[in-house]
């Protein structure tokens, strides 16, 4: 099936974080594409990727990067597709640098910024599924089932001392 979501990241080193986005999309059966596209090291590739993403059939782009994390904003500047930004946790500043780089977009070009690290990556995948579910009833059902299962799991395990 054709990939509807593009998951791009600045470096291979971002994959241990970004695979959380793939995890939830696998669970919800949403086809995605994964690729390293660096704003700093491969700027021409970045521009080309973003400029052609909509024509390739992608509907959402997830961009993960750490440090001076220009990737999501630069992607957003060259595509009308919704871009979800994931701040990867950096070693020097624990991801605060990544977060502020991604979240502080000037007015006029939007990036939806998620939390730092794997929770943000997972939620970016989840949010991409929610966006797609507006026009996909079967996916909407799978999303409802995922949420019901999550709720039930919490209700079934109220004692915090249990494993
Ligand atoms: C960013 O620099 C990447 O997104 C990554 O989070 C960070 C470090 O990259 P590597 O030096 O590990 O390739 O561009």
Q: What 3-state DSSP class applies to 129?
A: helix
Q: What is the pLDDT of residue 161?
A: 96
Instruction: Please indicate whether residue 124, judged by its CB atom, sits closer than 6 Å to ligand 1.
Output: no
Report ipTM (2 d.p.). Answer: 0.97
Residue segments in the chain with a per-residue pLDDT below the cut of 70: none
Q: Structure pTM?
A: 0.97
> Ligand 1, atom 3: nearest CA belongs to which residue?
10
Q: What was the pLDDT predicted at 163?
A: 81
pLDDT reported for residue 20: 98
pLDDT, residue 96, reads: 98
- Specify the ligand 1 atom closest to the Cα of 39: 14
86 and 121 Cβ atoms separated by less than 8 Å: yes
Q: Could you tell me which of 24, 26, 30, 62 has the C-alpha nearest to residue 139? A: 30
Centre of ligand 1 from the C-alpha of residue 160, in Å? 37
CA distance linking residue 17 with residue 23, whole number of Å: 11
For atom 12 of ligand 1, the residue with the nearest CA is 13
Q: Angle of helix 118-133 relative to helix 15-27, nearest 10 degrees?
A: 30
Q: Is the CB of 13 under 6 A from ligand 1?
A: yes
Contact assessment for residue 76 and residue 83, using Cβ atoms and an 8 Å cutoff:
yes
- How would you classify the pairing of strands 32-36 and 60-66? unpaired
Binding-site residues for substrate, please? 11, 14, 41
Q: Tell me, what's the pLDDT at 1? A: 76
Q: Which residues are annotated as a binding site?
A: 11, 14, 41
Q: What is the pLDDT, as a whole number, of residue 108?
A: 98
């Amino acid at each position: 099936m054709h990939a509807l979501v593009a998951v791009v990241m600045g470096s291979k080193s971002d994959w241990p974080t970004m695979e959380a986005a793939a995890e939830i999309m696998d669970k919800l059966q949403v086809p995605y594409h994964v690729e390293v596209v660096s704003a700093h090291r491969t700027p021409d590739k970045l521009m080309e990727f973003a400029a052609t993403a909509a024509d390739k059939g992608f509907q959402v782009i997830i961009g993960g990067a750490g440090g001076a994390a220009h990737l999501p904003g630069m992607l957003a500047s060259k595509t009308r597709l919704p871009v979800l930004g994931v701040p990867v946790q950096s070693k020097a500043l624990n991801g605060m640098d990544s977060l502020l780089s991604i979240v502080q977009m000037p007015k006029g070009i939007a990036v939806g910024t998620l939390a730092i690290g794997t929770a943000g990556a997972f939620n970016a995948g989840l949010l991409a599924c929610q966006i797609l579910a507006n026009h996909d009833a079967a996916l909407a059902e799978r999303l409802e089932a995922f949420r019901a299962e999550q709720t039930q799991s919490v209700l079934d395990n109220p004692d915090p001392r249990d494993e």
